[in-house]
Every structure is written in C-alpha cells, then in structure tokens.
C-alpha cells in the first residue's frame, strides 16, 4: 500500500507554544484528512482538504494541502493541555476509495 511518513513521531512542548507537523507521501493525493485520537478513543476528524494549496482552519488548528499534492501540514497555535493526543494524517489518490493513514504524531503538552 501507500506509505505516508509523518513527522515528528512525537513532540513535547510547553503550554502556549505553537506546534507544526507534516505528512508526506510517495504519490499524489487528491484528498488529505487530519485526525486526532485521544487515549482510549477512536480518531476524530479535525480538518479535510480537497485541493492543492488549500488552507483550512478549525479554531486554533490550521492545515494546508501542499502544492506538490504529496504533502500536508498541520499547525496548532497556542497549545493547551487538551491538545494532548495522537494526530494522524490520511490521504487518498485518484484510484480506488481507500484512505491511507500515517503512523501518527504523539503530542504532549506540559502545563
């Protein structure tokens, strides 16, 4: 299947700091999704992106669909303790219906 590389694998930051993470694929995608998974729960959709260059916000979260269509970025501004969790990217190309998921970025926010 498709390989999605997410980085960094984990982050430890102070409350109030901004966070940046990214996801890259070996092939072109038409849709990028960003999910957050809290401990003991399933992933929850944060942001969906549908065209190259698109920049979409959801509160303090902003995600971008990379111009090359092989990457996507997620930024969190002014982090708070409830931002703790694992953030997953997912992407889909123009063949088939399957979304491929990254391995996740684990975020820890230190109060």
34 strand-pairing partners: 47, 89
Residues numbered 73 to 102 that lie near another protein (CB under 8 A) are 88, 90, 92, 97-102
Residue selected from 14, 26, 41, 67 as contacting another protein according to rule CB under 8 A: 41
Residue selected from 8, 17, 44, 68 as contacting another protein according to rule CB under 8 A: 44
Binding status of residue 31 toward another protein by CB under 8 A = yes
DSSP of 14-81: ETT--EEEEEEESS--SEEEEEEE-TTS--EEEEEE-STT-EEEETTEEEEE-TTSSEEEEEE-S--G
The interface region with another protein, picked from 13-21, 30-38, 58-66, 70-78 by CB under 8 A, is 30-38
């Amino acid at each position: 299947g498709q390989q999605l590389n997410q980085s960094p694998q984990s982050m430890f930051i102070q409350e109030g700091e901004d966070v940046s993470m990214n996801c890259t694929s070996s092939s072109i995608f038409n849709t990028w999704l960003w999910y957050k998974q809290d401990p003991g729960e399933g992933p929850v959709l944060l942001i969906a992106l549908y065209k190259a260059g698109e920049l979409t916000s959801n509160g303090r979260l902003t995600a971008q669909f990379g111009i090359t269509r092989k990457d996507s970025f997620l930024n969190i501004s002014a982090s708070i303790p409830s931002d703790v969790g694992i953030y997953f990217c997912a992407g889909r190309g123009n063949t088939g219906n399957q979304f491929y998921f990254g391995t996740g970025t684990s975020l820890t926010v230190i109060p």
